[in-house]
Amino acid sequence: MSDADSPRFTTLALPSALLSNLDSLGYLAMTPVQATALPAILDKRDVIAQAKTGSGKTAAFGLGLLAALNPESFAVQGLVLCPTRELADQVAEEIRRLARAMPNVKVLTLCGGAPFGPQLGSLEHGAHIVVGTPGRVEEHLRKGSLDLSRLTMLVLDEADRMLDMGFQASLEAIIGQTPASRQTLMFSATFPEDEQKGSIRAIAAGLMRDPLRVKVEETH
Ligand code: ADP
Ligand code: MG
């Protein structure tokens, strides 16, 4: 798809503040995964998307999270789980960039390897979106410092890698603390085809309601 043919973000029902910020970031045309997944995400559908590294998956779910957010409520409304601290930091940074037009929106990272105490303090101040690694997020849930009872959107980023790293039990424990009414999004660079128990497909089947499956080959 050439840039001239790519749909523009302005074709989406996004709040105008988000659109003008995208313009200032130089995000004009959507990447293919954004063009396919975002309309469904904004329509509140569950989505399973596969697209290569560098294809703009973060903005696809990040804009979905921000568009659905109620900034007046300080409950955690969005949770993004990532396999590593580095990836979680990158995702949080991109969501903060996308959220520049929404100055009151708080994005908090909760990752292992970082001290626990300051995370408790940050949680007490409240956050709209939490980005974290499964182990640490589960620990906060167990200790009662994180409440996901008002979550509206759950994102599993690099879901294949999280399973490879043995996070399945943590993921299940976390998901069990979220409302069944939530919207669930899964993003991955690869989706192994097998249907075995514990595979990404088996997990997705138990988690998602009539998901839209998006598979994109090209990056831009
Ligand atoms: P992925 O998660 O698919 O590996 P990222 O979300 O990290 O990819 O995005 C890769 C890069 O592309 C980032 O630097 C991001 O800022 C940039 N990007 C994403 N969407 C757009 C867009 N629509 N227009 C221009 N740049 C974009
Ligand atoms: Mg990514």
Q: How far apart are alpha carbons 216 and 44 in whole angstroms?
A: 20
Ligand 1 in contact with 53 (CB < 6 A)? Answer: yes
Of the listed ligands, the closest to the CA of 98 is: 1
Tell me how far the alpha carbon of residue 181 lies from the centroid of ligand 2, in angstroms. Answer: 25
Ligand 1 in contact with 128 (CB < 6 A)? Answer: no
Average pLDDT, integer, range 124-140: 97
**Predicted pLDDT of residue 4:** 59
Tell me how far the alpha carbon of residue 70 lies from the centroid of ligand 2, in angstroms. Answer: 24
CATH architecture of 30-216: 3-Layer(aba) Sandwich (3.40)
Task: Point out which residues pair with 188 in neighbouring strands.
Answer: 50
Ligand 1 in contact with 187 (CB < 6 A)? Answer: no
Q: Where are the alpha helices (DSSP H) in the chain?
A: 16-25, 32-42, 57-68, 85-98, 116-125, 134-143, 159-164, 168-175, 200-207
Q: Where are the domains of the chain?
A: 30-216
Q: How far apart are alpha carbons 212 and 199 in whole angstroms?
A: 18
Output the pTM of the full model. Answer: 0.95
Average pLDDT, integer, range 31-46: 97
Instruction: Give residues whose Cβ lies within 5 Å of ion ligand 2.
Output: 57
Q: Which of 31-40, 67-76, 78-87, 204-213 has the lowest mean pLDDT?
A: 204-213
149-194 per-position pLDDT tens digit: 999 999 999 998 998 899 999 999 999 999 999 999 999 988 766 6
Confidence class for position 202, pLDDT limits 50, 70, 90: confident
Q: How far apart are alpha carbons 123 and 61 in whole angstroms?
A: 22
**CB atoms < 10 A from the CB of 54, how many?**
10
In the chain, the N- to C-terminal Cα span, in Å, equals 7
**Predicted pLDDT of residue 218:** 66
State yes or no: pLDDT of 195 exceeds 80: no
State yes or no: pLDDT of 2 exceeds 50: no
Confidence class for position 203, pLDDT limits 50, 70, 90: confident
Contact indicator for 203, 174 with CB cutoff of 8 Å:
no
Ligand 1 in contact with 32 (CB < 6 A)? Answer: no
Confidence class for position 17, pLDDT limits 50, 70, 90: very high
Of the listed ligands, the closest to the CA of 7 is: 1
Confidence class for position 58, pLDDT limits 50, 70, 90: very high
State yes or no: pLDDT of 107 exceeds 80: yes
Q: State which of 55, 187, 216 you would mutate to test the pocket of ligand 1, scoring each by most atoms of that ligand within 8 A of its C-beta.
A: 55
Confidence class for position 1, pLDDT limits 50, 70, 90: very low
Ligand 1 in contact with 31 (CB < 6 A)? Answer: yes
